[in-house]
Amino acid sequence: MNDNEFKLKVRDVRKTYGPVVALEGASLDMREGEFLTLLGPSGSGKTTLLMAVAGLNEPDGGEVWIDGKLATYLPPSKRDIGMVFQNYALFPHMTILENIAFPLRMRKADGKAIREAMARVLDIVQLPEVAHRLPRELSGGQQQRIALARCFVYEPSIILMDEPLGALDKKLRDALQLEIKQLHDKLGITVLYVTHDQEEAMVMSDRICLMNQARIEQVGTPEDLYFRPGSVFAADFLGESNLVESTVVGVDGDTMVVSTPGEARIKGLVNPALRQGDKAKFMVRPECVRILEGGESADNEARGTVREVIISGHVTKAFVELADGSELKATGLTVGPVDPLLKGREVRLGWSRERTVVLADGSVGDET
């Protein structure tokens, strides 16, 4: 794809606040109609990057391009962007219609166009009946949908969302995640979204930009980051994972073999950045690990003792201590009561080579 065909380009953007580096060398591309989420712990730089795109902070270096035009130092009003915040930012003294009409009136749209646009977006967010109410007369979820409608109404080039669901309870947040995703699919809008919620990012995003310690850690589809994380931080931050210390002992075709402290040989996908003798960690998701029965076998096997079994609703987790003292988690669907004799039993665990990722050893980044 030609550079000019990207809706948004960020090139080597850097931002400091005194001695604190808030963003270091961030580069990112977005396509027309894409839903891209900036995900990471507090202090990782995701909001700083969003604010640089919005024009609400001035970077120390680098460039921001919107629709093929250099926008690094343009004021927010000249960037053709819309923003949705966590606190809704609705005008409390205006009716819902007046709130939605406000951006159109600021752009001097005519009365007919305003009326048609307001009716259209209220229908899109399924709230035509609240047009003449004040924001305080709506629930939190309704207010957030109106904030979305006010942003959609003038059809900005890019919509920026800064943790818009963070103030809502889980049930409402889950419902609005799907609503926003459906609106995105229906309208074909380009959305740059910020959250620290992994599940939210997985549900809504076409791609995720994972950030850590002011840098971009990895960019990819939810499936890429979940099943093919590029670092120990990525593997640990997104979802649950088994991460076990190991050493690379060889490569056989498309298979990398590592050795654990207990001298087990584990087969995984080749990591071209690693060589024989390198310290590593292998990662396998708990739902990819199963307790083997009878004569069952798997690419990778390990023996251990079940130390704990926990039912957490629809899934059951078994915590198995291996002979070398390390622990593996195996997660499966809850299909009935747990066998009371499972705890304390010696079991064999098995999982496939294709679900084993070998990563360069490194400490997990600070998530505070």
Residue 307 lies in a domain: yes
pLDDT at 118: 84
Report how far residue 47's alpha carbon sits from residue 10's, in angstroms, rounded to the nearest whole number. Answer: 14
The domain that contains 269 carries what CATH number?
A: 2.40.50.100
Give yes or no: residues 257 and 274 share one domain.
yes
Looking at the structure, do residues 50 and 126 belong to the same domain, yes or no? Answer: yes
Q: What are phi and psi of 121, to 5 degrees?
A: -75, -30
What is the predicted pLDDT for the residue at 25?
93
Q: How would you label 279-315 residue by residue, b for 16+ Cβ within 10 Å and e otherwise?
A: ebbbbbbbbbbbbbeeeeeeebebebebeebeeeeee
112 belongs to a structural domain: yes
Q: Where are the beta strands (DSSP E) in 57-152?
A: 61-66, 69-70, 81-85
pLDDT per position as a tens digit, 208-235 = 999 999 999 999 999 999 999 999 999 9
Which CATH number characterizes residue 97's domain?
A: 3.40.50.300
Q: Is residue 368 part of a domain?
A: no
Q: Does 301 share its domain with 170? A: no
Question: What pLDDT is stored for residue 2 in this prediction?
Answer: 54
Output the tens digit of pLDDT for each of the chain's 368 residues. 455 679 999 999 999 999 999 999 999 999 999 999 999 999 999 999 999 999 999 999 999 999 999 999 999 989 999 888 877 778 899 999 999 988 888 888 888 888 888 888 888 888 889 989 999 999 888 888 888 888 888 888 999 999 888 877 888 888 888 888 888 888 888 999 999 999 999 999 999 999 999 999 999 999 999 999 999 999 999 999 999 999 999 999 999 999 998 888 999 999 999 999 999 999 999 999 999 998 899 999 999 999 999 998 899 999 999 988 889 999 999 988 888 878 999 999 999 999 999 999 875 544 43
| Domain identity same for 306 and 262 | yes
Q: Is residue 45 domain-resident?
A: yes
Retrieve residue 64's tokens.
Answer: 């921001």
Taken in order 102, 103, 106, 112, the sign of the CA dihedral is: negative
Q: What is the CA radius of gyration of the chain?
A: 25
> In this structure, are residues 362 and 232 in contact, taking their beta carbons and an 8 Å threshold?
yes
Last residue of a domain, one of 232, 248, 272: 232
If asked whether residues 147 and 199 sit together in one domain, one would say yes
The pLDDT, as a whole number, for residue 89 is: 79
Task: State both tokens at 178.
Answer: 């799907």
Look at residue 365 and tell me if it is in a domain.
Answer: no
Domain tally, the chain: 2
| Residue finishing a domain among 173, 200, 232 | 232
Q: Is 235 helix (H, G, I), strand (E, B) or coil?
A: helix
Question: Contact at 8 Å (CB) between 14 and 25?
Answer: yes
Residue 366 lies in a domain: no
Full domain range(s) for residue 250: 240-337+344-360
What's the full length of the chain, in residues? 368
Same domain, 222 and 245: no
User: If DSSP codes are grouped into helix, strand and coil, which group holds residue 48?
Assistant: helix
Asked whether residue 46 falls in the same domain as residue 176, the answer is: yes
What per-residue confidence (pLDDT) applies to 104?
Answer: 87
232, 258, 291: which is the final residue of a domain?
Answer: 232
Same domain, yes or no: 69 and 214: yes
The verdict on residue 30 lying in a domain is: yes
Instruction: Examine residue 267 and state whether it is found in any structural domain, yes or no.
Output: yes
Q: Are residues 224 and 314 in the same domain?
A: no
The tokens for 247 are 């050493």
Same structural domain for residues 304 and 324? yes
Strand, coil or helix: 124: helix
Instruction: Tell me the pLDDT tens digit for each residue of 230-277.
Output: 999 999 999 999 999 999 999 999 999 999 988 889 999 999 999 999
Judgement on whether residues 35 and 178 belong to the same structural domain of the protein = yes
